[in-house]
Amino acid sequence: MIISNNAAKWLTSVRIWAAIKRETLLTISEGVATPEEIDAIFKDVLKTPKGPCEQMDVVGLDVVLDIEKHYAETRLGTSEAPRKLLQEMIAEKKLGRKSGSGFYRYDSD
């Protein structure tokens, strides 16, 4: 199978994003850092326009949970803590921007 350079870059970025997202959720669930602290690190050090928590809020935490469930099914030994954190947030109606709150609160425009 031949994969184009653009496709290879896209697949690589998706895989790296998955690791960043999962480690961000694990770090928050363990109480090591807050969403604000993590996002500040990404924006200050890596110069990203949004941190991972802000980006997950845009995507939707229910969608992020579905993705995490898929990874857990395909990669044995994946920590349950990120999924549990997302399930708790979703139970509190925190879905991200679309519900007005997730890791952050959003004003309705």
Domain with 58 in it: what CATH number? 1.10.1040.10
Q: Is residue 94 included in any domain, yes or no?
A: yes
Q: Within a domain: residue 109?
A: no
pLDDT tens digits for 77-92? 889 999 999 999 999 9
Whether 4 has a pLDDT exceeding 70, the answer reads no
Q: How is residue 15 written in tokens?
A: 């895989």
In a domain, 106, yes or no: no
How many domains is the chain built from? 1
Query: Is residue 108 situated within a structural domain?
Result: no
Q: What is the value of pTM for the model shown? A: 0.88
Instruction: Report yes or no on 43 lying in a domain.
Output: yes
* 13: Cβ contacts below 8 Å, ≥ 6 apart: none
Q: 40-67, pLDDT tens digit by residue?
A: 999 999 999 999 999 999 999 999 999 9
Residue 46 is predicted with a pLDDT of 93
Q: Answer yes or no: is 107 within a domain.
A: no
Per the structure, the complete domain to which residue 43 belongs is given by: 5-99
Closest by Cα among 43, 32, 39 to 85: 32
Position 57 in a domain:
yes
